[in-house]
Amino acid sequence: MGCTLFYCGCEALLRVVEKRVFLYNTRVFIWEEFGTNNFRIGIGHDTHRLGPGSSLRLGGVNLPHDRSLIGHSDADVLLHALIDALLGAAALGDIGQIFPNTDIKNADRNSVEMLQEVVNQVHQAEYRIVNVDCILFAERPKIAPVALEIRRSIAAVLSVLPEAVGVKAKTGEGVGPVGREEAISAQAVALLEKIS
Ligand SMILES: [Zn+2]
């Protein structure tokens, strides 16, 4: 059973006398039980270098581009950040522990497969995915035209509606590794609910 605190004045106090009350710093607080707290939040971050190439894979979607992301797997930086957010929310470790870059089977691996494996682990731990939100940091290409496709791609793997997947993008304003088009980064948050 979880609890929350409410600050209230004396008039409100008279109306909630049935709840537990205590004083702190001369203020009156109400300690109210609100039921089981089953939510868990996680955060993820990733960066991959850009190098010679002709396409990118972002959020499971292949995009033509004049450079490619470099990595042991397919370097889908957005899905890697999302994987860490999901693992973090469920306290199941991190992407490096589950998909080590020393394992040959992860070489050039499609990150959609990796995300699906993590979603299975999250479900086996008896969590449901409530929603996720992501930010891509990329000078190019423009993400807005393909944001809906990326959201649908991610939603299909997470078994949620596209409305439960946020995808936003920022440029590097021409400065730093992102702005100089040396790298693309991503951040993600995930909210899970324990279902047992
Ligand atoms: Zn990565």
152 CA to centre of ligand 1 in angstroms: 21
Same domain, 112 and 188: yes
Same domain, 24 and 43: no
Up-side HSE of residue 49: CA atoms within 13 Å toward CB?
A: 5
Same domain, 28 and 105: no
Up-side HSE of residue 175: CA atoms within 13 Å toward CB?
A: 1
Same domain, 113 and 55: yes
Same domain, 11 and 44: no
The pLDDT tens digits for 131-181 are 999 999 999 999 999 999 999 999 999 999 999 999 999 999 999 999 999
Same domain, 3 and 72: no
95 CA to centre of ligand 1 in angstroms: 8
The CA distances from residue 7 to 1, 18, 130, 172, in Å, are 20, 15, 29, 42
- The confidence score (pLDDT) of residue 17 equals 45
Query: Which residues have a Cβ under 8 Å from the Cβ of 30 and sit 6 or more positions away?
Result: 5, 6, 7, 8, 13, 16, 19, 20, 21
- The confidence score (pLDDT) of residue 25 equals 58
23 three-state secondary structure: strand
Q: How many independent structural domains does the chain possess? A: 2
Same domain, 98 and 182: yes
Q: Are 103 and 95 in contact (CB under 8 A)?
A: no
- The confidence score (pLDDT) of residue 2 equals 45
89 pLDDT more than 50: yes
Same domain, 27 and 78: no
Spell out which residues have Cβ within 5 A of ligand 1, the ion. Answer: 46, 80
Same domain, 27 and 121: no
Residue given tokens 């106090």 in the structure block: 13
**CATH number, domain with residue 130:** 3.30.1330.50
Same domain, 130 and 46: yes
**DSSP H helices in the chain:** 10-15, 77-89, 95-98, 111-124, 147-158, 176-179
The pLDDT tens digits for 3-41 are 444 455 554 444 444 455 555 556 665 555 555 679 999
Mean pLDDT of 101-126: 94
pTM confidence score? 0.82
121 CA to centre of ligand 1 in angstroms: 19
> CA-to-CA distance for 88 and 93, rounded, in angstroms?
6
Same domain, 94 and 30: no
Same domain, 44 and 117: yes
- The confidence score (pLDDT) of residue 196 equals 79
100 CA to centre of ligand 1 in angstroms: 11
State the pLDDT confidence band at 62, using cuts at 50, 70 and 90: very high
Q: What is the span of the domain harbouring residue 13?
A: 1-34
